[in-house]
Structure 1
Amino acid sequence: MLTSERKALIQQVLRQEGRLVAKDFSQKLGVSEDTIRRDLRELAGEGLLQRVHGGALPASSAVADFASREQVGSSVKAKLGQAAARMIQPGQIVFLDGGTTNVQLARHLPSDLKAVVITHSPSIAVELVRHPHVEVELIGGRLFKHSIVAVGATSAEAISRIRADLFFMGATGVHPETGVTTGDREEAAIKALIARQSAETIVLATEEKLGAASPYQIMPLSDIGTLVTVAGLPEETLRSFRSSGLALVEV
């Protein structure tokens, strides 16, 4: 089998089964495990999969720039945002992460809601400028342009002084094995810090993020309180999430 054929088959297995074990796959094809691991390294270098111990997982497709992501699945993200907005109770302190789905959440907050929203995302803050009753606290720091959020030591210091009731976290991958992941080490650390400072963490995930993984773990799946995703997904996609102990909300 040619290298290109092996790589195509690897990607097919990942699409169909959601994971690949290098040892088993090498035995199936009758080639060395080192050969398969080299294929996985090269595919990972092209951003086509995420390597993990012993094999590979599908790479998250949610890695485009912010402007591009705004154009993808906007109606689905609006539904997720509407459902998440209904979870916020009057008087709560809520931390909104950056990301296009959380922008939809901010847009759908009820006009009569009285709450405090803390965010390190200028995009979220701008969305809430005209809200009559939501008080907005904006965390500063170095701007991470991919997600349009503040990161770094200044952000971490401010976040460490906050206690939030809810944290609506953005992520590029949500997988039963690798947990909640994203593509930048510093952003992952900031997200993990916000979660530690919050009583409950809620993740909003469109279909392409489920079962996918990115290089940097934010937290294991067991540390999430609620996962909000779209209704009608295949049961095999959701089974492992249902059995993990988190609350699964389908909208």
Structure 2
Amino acid sequence: MTDAGLRYESAAERRIWMLATLRSEGFLSVTDLARQLGVSQMTIRRDLHALEHEGHVRLVHGGASLTPGAPLGSSAPEDDDAGARDRVAAHAVDLVGDTDAIAIDAGATGHAVARSLPASFSGCVISHSLPVLQCLSTRGLERVVALGGELLAGRHAFVGPTTEAATAQLRVRTFFLTPSGADARGLYAASPAEASVQRQLMGIADEVVLVATREVFRTSAPARIAPLDRLTRLVTDQRPPAELASALRRVGVVPHVVDG
């Protein structure tokens, strides 16, 4: 998230920033926006209503998420990783059967996976991600399981003992894992609390699919989730670095690289 105290003088500048940030975060709360942009919550709501009227965002309780498939428009700054996330997500969901039970991780790539689920999908989705759950709330799916708990700021994900306990009686065919970082030693999250939830979701899945853009291979994160041998597949937009690629070969994971 952007540092507190960011200010834009015009409504147009604020709205451009909101759209660019939504591409990265998946969800923005009114409270966070007001604090970061240094304006009132009423001003933020006016901006969001205007963006909704233009078809860019969908208002949800407490904030907004991107409208699935909405164009950003030529005035919005590019999120360099957004197109890559959409591409890898679209290929990842090709692995999903129409009636499968799946789990989707938090973060912008997890949100892209949720947006990419085909219209024919009628299975069950389990997630601890607020943006993912909000995205799916408009799909009319019969079975969406929300793993509640303590809301982790920034990632907009539920974590903690309550979240982990909710997975105990669950099982899914595929968990789409979107960690903060990956290297030859394993997979990493930004916090131990989120890493713990991700391990729980890996434990209830028949297959674990790592969905990652090149940024994941460049990012250092402090909390180790699991070793690479817990993975079943990798879908990415760029071949992994040599050391990581060698480690993946040793555990039998062949990267599927999506063309740009």
TM-score, L = length of structure 2 = 0.65
1:49-60 matched pairs, under 5 angstroms: none
1:73-222 matched pairs, under 5 angstroms: 73-133=81-141, 135-177=143-185, 179-210=186-217, 212-222=219-229
Runs (4+) off by over 3 Å? 66-72, 231-240
Distance 2:191 2:84 in 1: 25
1:128·1:134 contact (CA, 8 Å) conserved in 2? no
Distance 1:157 1:216 in 2: 20
Match of 2:48 in 1: none
Task: Give 1:113 shift.
Answer: 1.3
Residues 173 and 234 (structure 1 numbering): CA distance in 2 closer, same or farther, change over 3 Å? closer
2:236·2:256 contact (CA, 8 Å) conserved in 1? yes
The structure with the largest alpha-carbon Rg is 1
Match of 2:232 in 1: 225
Task: Give 1:239 shift.
Answer: 4.0
Question: Aligned pair count?
Answer: 185
Moved more, 76-85 or 237-246: 237-246
Residues 231 and 219 (structure 1 numbering): CA distance in 2 closer, same or farther, change over 3 Å? same
Match of 2:6 in 1: none
Residues 212 and 239 (structure 1 numbering): CA distance in 2 closer, same or farther, change over 3 Å? farther
Give per-residue Cα distances to partners, 1:14-63, cap 9 Å, x unaligned: xxxxxxxxxxxxxxxxxxxxxxxxxxxxxxxxxxxxxxxxxxxxxxxxxx
Distance 1:101 1:236 in 2: 24
1:176·1:211 contact (CA, 8 Å) conserved in 2? no
5+ residue gaps, structure 2, are 1-20, 26-78
Structure 1 vs Structure 2 CA RMSD? 2.1
SS at match of 1:86: helix
Task: Give 1:116 shift.
Answer: 0.4
Task: Give 1:105 shift.
Answer: 1.0
Distance 2:228 2:142 in 1: 30
Moved more, 126-135 or 147-156: 126-135
1:91·1:116 contact (CA, 8 Å) conserved in 2? yes
Moved more, 155-164 or 223-232: 223-232
Match of 2:255 in 1: 248
